[in-house]
C-alpha cells in the first residue's frame, strides 16, 4: 500500500501533472514516519522495560509497536494532507 502511494506519485509527476504546492510527497511522509517511530519506539522500549523488568519482552513490545504505528502514522499523514483546512 505504501509502495503504491510512492509509485502512483511518481507516475503522475512523469505524466506532466503539476504538483500540488501545499502537498507533501509520499516519500516525505514515509521518512517522517520512520524518524518519529524511532523516537516513539525508544520510548516504548524504556517504558516496557521499566514495567516488565525483562528486556526480551520489552523488545518484543517495542518491535510490534514500531511496525503498527509506522503504518498508522503514514496513512494519518496522507489523510491530513488531503484536508485543505488550515493550509
Q: What string of pLDDT tens digits covers the 87 residues of the chain?
A: 666 666 666 665 555 445 566 778 888 888 888 898 899 999 999 999 999 999 999 999 999 999 998 889 889 989 988 998 887
When divided into structural domains, the chain yields a total of 1
Is there a domain that residue 60 lies in? Answer: yes
Does 1 map to a domain?
no
Would you state the pLDDT for residue 17? Answer: 47
Element (H, E) at 74: helix 55-82
Q: What is the pTM of this model?
A: 0.60
Residue 12 lies in a domain: no
pLDDT, residue 8, reads 65
11 inside domain: no
Instruction: Please report, for residues 28, 50, 83, the alpha-carbon distance to residue 72 in angstroms, rounded to integers and kept in the order given.
Output: 15, 26, 17
Amino acid at each position: 500500500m505504501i509502495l503504491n502511494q510512492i509509485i502512483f506519485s511518481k507516475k503522475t509527476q512523469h505524466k506532466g501533472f503539476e504538483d500540488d504546492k501545499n502537498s507533501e510527497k509520499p516519500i516525505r511522509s514515509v521518512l517522517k514516519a520512520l524518524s518519529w517511530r524511532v523516537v516513539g519506539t525508544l520510548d516504548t522500549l524504556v517504558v516496557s522495560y521499566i514495567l516488565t523488568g525483562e528486556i526480551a519482552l520489552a523488545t518484543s513490545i517495542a518491535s510490534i509497536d514500531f511496525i503498527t504505528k509506522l503504518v498508522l502514522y503514514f496513512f494519518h499523514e496522507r489523510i491530513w494532507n488531503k484536508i485543505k483546512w488550515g493550509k
